[in-house]
Every structure is written in structure tokens, then in C-alpha cells.
Chains A and B, each alone.
Chain A
Amino acid sequence: MISEIFNIQFFHPSIFYILGGLLIPVLRGKVKQGYMLTVSVLAFISVINMPLGNYGVYEFLSWKLTFGEVDKLSKVFAYIFTIMGIIGVIYSIHVKRDGEHFAAFYYVGGSLGVIFAGDFLSLFLFWEMMAFSSVFLVWFRKSPSSVDSGFRYLLWHVAGGLILLAGIILQYSVSGDLSIQYLPFHGWWPTDLQSLASYLIIIGFIVNAAVPPLGAWLPDAYPAATVTGAVFMSAFTTKTAVYALIRVSAGSEMLIILGVIMAIYGVVYAVLENDARRLLAYHIISQVGYMVAGVGLGTQMAINGVVAHAFCHILYKSLLFMGTGSVLYVTGTAKLTKLGGLYKTMPRTMIYTIIGGLSISAFPLFSGFVSKSITVAAFGEAHLTWAFLALMLASAGTFLHTGLKIPYFIWFGKDQGIKAKEPPWNMELAMVICSLFCIGLGIFYKPLYALLPYPLHFEPYTAYHTWETLQVLLFTQLGFFLLLKKLWCKDTISVDTDWFPRKGVKVFMRFTKPLANLEYKFIGEIYEYIIQKPIMGVAKIFKTIDTVIVDGAFNGLGQLTLALSRKMQKTQSGQIQHYAMLMVAGFIALVIFVMVLS
């Protein structure tokens, strides 16, 4: 078994991140930076060399755990995760705090573990590892609000994880099999135990995919995270959830409706949002909506579209988070009301961010165009016209916010005279790499299509499709400039579904005072007569036993020890020769003792 995991062919990429992370606190300066980069590159190389098949199978108690199930689907996700690992390390390499690197490494390692897990138990293990490491990327921001956001983030994920675990246990008790298998769910409510199991598993997954109303943790935590932490977070959690949904729940019809709602939901919130990074977080929800809807459709073409879209999405969304993160890093704020006119001081960052914006908006020649088109076309071919039109509407909204609103209000808009400069070289390098990927994938899309799990015959650059997209996007732009006055932000936040745990819970607090009175006056009295008094009586007896017998024994022991140590005191002369003599005597005694025994 050991030889299997250390097999040259299959080297689990998580091992690099999980074991490699341990050395981070030991190393310093340039050595540490080089080391982190090397580890992330090695993980990528291990994915390239990985043959398809099952590896790392262990018998644990009566269960069979599979840590390395490699097929085309898991491999394409592993590619993008390890590429993102390298880019993320470059972007964050200047960060001094070891804990942040450590958390990021375990987060990436956890997500790779989920991708290759062949059974639900190891999936769950890595699933939780992701939640508990990524929360530190929020906490390390170290502001009071980010500490709060981190706790809420953890609560959501622990709740989701427990629902997932319940589903897994139920699935095991129904089928006696822990291996990850295809368990689609049909309809809206479970009817028997098997469907309840797949239902609970789906809910566990869609909490991490940030499907409303269970997705409020995402726009809460991501903008609260550190500059570099948000870049990592934008890439991994939701996409591992999409991966898990493809594996287990593809073709579950409820996901089509939830996905389309998500795509539009994110767009609506983005109109109201003032914090640039929270706006982007809402657009993650919107983009993941395309993926969730595609998973729900479940045809080969739709799944191909989902995987391609996840691949491109990780690159352009992290690019956008890097761009706005750089603005936050340099100016100290990401609020659109406080920014403006930065094109004079940060023009290069602006260009990278616009490239990210054009990619997410699926502009021809950018990566989003070649990936989003597949999913949307799959809906067109399936003649689900309502979903098709809703997704096109969300596309317009995406361009409106990420392609136009963010660049306009940060780099143009009202010049606030902020003193700024371009970010450090490593942050810029990471943005350059991402930009090249976004443009490169938009033009040379064939290698990406070849990586997809199913064979794909799709040509994104047909005259009509290109023209259709250009019309939607450029007329959205016209609308943006005509309604520009309406789009100026205010210093507000928008209430999301986490209103219920955060504010709604205060309704219950109103009952606490009468309840406390009741407790004190009524229950307290009863408690005193029925429980407290008898207990006190018994306690009195015990106390007597305690003083007389137990204390007596202890006091006796104490006096004995005191007498002994007074005798011992005399041997402690403080002179080295006495000690040496005692040691020799002791050694001889030991030798004799051993000889007698043998």
C-alpha cells in the first residue's frame, strides 16, 4: 500500500500541500518563497504525470477508502486547481505571516483531496479540512468584522458538513456502500430513505456551492478575507462543490431551477453593492449558477460546458479578485464610493481587471466566451427556452457589473485624488499570468476542449453566435451609459438570507426576559426543593467522609513526604563531587539490579 502511494506514476498532489505546508514556518525569506513556489509547481507536475485509474486504496476498519480515483473529470479539475495553486502562491508570496500561507496550503490540499476521493468518507474528511483551513484566511484580516464573518462562515460550513455527513451515513445504511456513486435526486421532496440520502447529500453540496438561500456565507466572508486569501477562496470552495455535484447529482432537475435563480440573484445584488469585492462575490454566485443549472440539465454537452466554465471561471474570477485586491492593498479600501480616478496611478492593474471583466462577460476572444457558450447552447438545444433566456439576461448583467461598473467606478468616475501606485511585482506577475490565460484560452480553446470529460463537437466562433453575443453585450453598454446616474453607489449594505440567523434571531431574544423570570421564580423554586435540597443532604455525608478519611490519608502522606524530603535535603550539598559519587553509586546499583534480574 505504501508503495502504491509512493508510486512514481501516481503521487497524490495533496501530499505536496499537506506535508509541504509543515515546513513553511521553519524557513525564512527568499528560501521560503522559493520553497513554496517549488511545492506548488511539483503538485502541478504530479497531476500532468498522473495516469487514469484507482490508487491509494486502504482498508480502514470495515470500510474501503480510496484516496486516488483518477478519471478525466477529476483530472481536469486537478489541473486548474494546481495551476491556481501556483498563481495564488505567486500573488501572495510577499505576505510575511506564515499562518496565512499555511492555511492556504491546507485549503488547496483539501480541495485536491476532495477531487480525487473515491469514497464519501475521505471526501468528507477533506471537505471539512477545506472549511477549517479557509476560515483562517478570513480571520487573518484581523479586523473585528472579519472575526465575526469568519465565525459565521464556519457555522454555515459546519452545518452544511453535518447535513452532508447525515446523508453519507444514511446512504451507507441503505446500500452498505461508501464509494462515491451517481445518486441523482428527482423532484423537490424525498419519498423514501434512498432519496432522502441523496437529498441530504445534495443539500450538503449546495451549501458549499453557495446556492441561495444557503449561500449567504459567500458574500459575507469573501470580502472580509485578506487580500490574498480572497483570491484563493474565490477559486476552490464553490468549484469543488460543483465537481461533487457533477459526480453525484448530475441530472437532478431541481438544480436547473436553483441554478437559474442563482445566476439572476447574484446579478440583482451586484446592482446594489458598493464594496467591489462583495460585488465580485455576488458574481461568483451568479457564475456558479450557470454551472449548477448545467449540472441539473446533465447532458454530456452541458457537463462539458460546466467543466470548461469552472476551468475558465477560476482564472478570470481570481484575476478580478487580484485586481480589486490590489486596489484594496494599495489604497486601503475597496468601496466604490471612496474610489475613483485611479487610471492615472494604477493603469496596468486596470487593464488586467478589464481583461478579467471581459472574460467573465463572455466577450468574443476571451475565455468566458468559449466556456459559457457551451452550457448556454446546451440549454438552447434542450429547448428549455425560459432557462436559455434567463441565462442570457444574466450575461448582460454580468457585463454590466464586472465589465463596466467595477472598472468605471474604480478607475474613472469621480476622481477622489487618492495617492496610489501599482502593486508589488509579484502581485502584478500573477495578474499578468492570469490575463494571458484568459486571452489564450479565448483564442486557443481546442486544448481545453480536449481535456473535457466527454467528446465535444462545438464551435464557439460561428458568425451568428459571435454576433448575437456582441449585440447583447454592446447594447448593455449603451444601457449602462444612459442609466449611469442611477448606478452611483451609496454607502449601504444589502440584506441577504443571513438576515434570519443574524437579525431574525433577535426576535427570540425578546422572549428571554419573561422566560428568565419564569425560570427564576417558578422553575428555580421547584428545582430547589426537588433537586437542590436532597443533593445537599447527600453532599453533607460525602463531605464528612471526605474530611475524615480522604483528607486524613492525604495529610498523612504529606507529612511522610515532608519527613522524607528533610532527610533527602542533606544529600543536596551543592558540591559537584557529591553528585558525581551519587551518580556512580546509582549506576553500579543499576548494573547489579540488571545482572540479578537476567
Chain B
Amino acid sequence: MKLLKLIETIKTKVTKKLAYGILVLLIVFDLIIPRHEVHFFGDKIPGFWSVFGFIACVLIIIVSKWIGRIGLMQDENYYDK
């Protein structure tokens, strides 16, 4: 099971540090990337899409959970009652 060993290697803490490194690199390179397709103001701000991605993710989780709590989420046998 080479595949299994590979997956367990990826699971270690080193990967986590590597992932943070990649995130930093993403923002750093965004300062120097050439911009051909400027559709709106956000395309001119360096790191805009990094912030957008993070905020989008947090917003989706929190807002959806809130909507779920106020009534969307029900017991599994809700319709049978």
C-alpha cells in the first residue's frame, strides 16, 4: 500500500507549514503579476482575491449556519411527523 503511506505522509504537520508558506507566496506574487483583464476596481488591488476568498468562505459558513438555525434545519423524521 504505497498510496496509503503517501497519504499518511501528506497528513503530517509539515504540510500545514508548507500550506501557510504557499498562502504567503500567493499574496507576494500578486504584487508583481501583470494585469491584462481589469474588469472592475478589485482587479487593481493587490491581494484582493485572497481577502475575497477568505471572507467569502467565512461568510458562507456563518450566514448559512445562521439561516439553518432559524428554522431551515429540522429533525431527520420531520416530514413523517
Contacts and interface: CB of A to CB of B under 8 A. Distances in A.
Interface of A: 267-269, 271-272, 343-344, 347-348, 350-351, 377, 380-381, 383, 385, 388-389, 392-393, 396-397, 400, 412, 462-465, 467-480, 483, 486-487, 490-495, 502-503
Contacts, number: 155
A568 to B, nearest CB: 62
A267 B59 CA distance: 11
Given A380-B40, A464-B37, A495-B78, A272 B72 contact: yes
Given A464-B33, A471-B53, A492 B75 contact: yes
A73 to B, nearest CB: 27
The 10 closest A-B pairs by CB, nearest first: A479-B57, A475-B53, A271-B64, A380-B39, A472-B53, A396-B56, A471-B49, A475-B54, A476-B57, A471-B50
A450 to B, nearest CB: 23
Contacts of B40: 380, 383, 385, 388
Contacts of A475: 23, 26, 49-54, 57
B29 to A, nearest CB: 7
Given A267-B60, A383-B40, A467-B33, A478 B54 contact: yes
Interface of B: 1, 3-4, 7, 11, 19, 22-23, 26-27, 29-30, 33-37, 39-40, 42-43, 47, 49-54, 56-65, 67-68, 71-76, 78-79
Given A492-B75, A494-B74, A397 B60 contact: yes
A279 B11 CA distance: 25
B61 A472 contact: no
Given A377-B37, A392-B56, A480-B57, A474 B76 contact: no
Contact of B4 (A344, A463, A478): A344
A493 B33 contact: no
Contacts of A400: 57, 60-61
Nearest to A484: B61
Nearest to B80: A145
B65 A272 contact: yes
5 contacts: A268-B67, A269-B64, A468-B49, A471-B30, A493-B76
Contact of A271 (B27, B30, B56, B68): B68
Given A272-B67, A471-B49, A491-B76, 19 more contacts: A268-B60, A271-B65, A271-B68, A392-B56, A396-B57, A397-B57, A462-B37, A463-B34, A464-B35, A464-B37, A467-B30, A469-B49, A477-B19, A479-B57, A483-B61, A487-B61, A493-B73, A493-B78, A503-B79
A397 B56 CA distance: 8
A383 B39 contact: yes
Given A396-B57, A492-B76, A493-B74, A467 B29 contact: yes
Contacts of A396: 52-53, 56-57, 60
B23 A268 contact: no
B53 A348 contact: no
Contacts of A473: 53
| Among A377, A463, A475: residue with most chain B CB under 10 A | A475
A490 B73 contact: yes
Nearest to A350: B7
A272 B49 CA distance: 26
Contacts of A494: 68, 72-74
B21 to A, nearest CB: 11
A476 B56 contact: yes
Nearest to B8: A343
Given A271-B65, A347-B3, A483-B61, A478 B39 contact: no
Contacts of A470: 26
A268 B64 contact: yes
A486 B65 contact: yes
A479 B58 contact: yes
Contact of B49 (A268, A351, A472): A472
Contacts of B78: 493, 495, 503
A553 B62 CA distance: 83
A472 B79 CA distance: 38
A474 B61 contact: no
Contacts of A463: 33-34
Contacts of A483: 57-58, 61
Contacts of B7: 343, 347, 350
Contacts of A471: 26-27, 30, 47, 49-50, 52-53
A393 B39 contact: no
Contacts of A479: 53-54, 56-58, 61
Contact of B23 (A267, A272, A347, A478): A478
B23 to A, nearest CB: 6
B44 to A, nearest CB: 11
Contacts of B27: 471
Contact of B37 (A465, A477, A493): A465
B26 A467 contact: yes
B34 A464 contact: yes
A398 to B, nearest CB: 10
A155 to B, nearest CB: 15
A347 B3 CA distance: 7
A472 B55 CA distance: 10
Contact of A393 (B47, B60, B62, B67): B60
A521 to B, nearest CB: 32
Nearest to B58: A479
B51 to A, nearest CB: 8
Contacts of B60: 267-268, 271, 393, 396-397, 400
Nearest to A482: B58
| Among A267, A377, A388, A472: residue with most chain B CB under 10 A | A472
Nearest to B20: A478
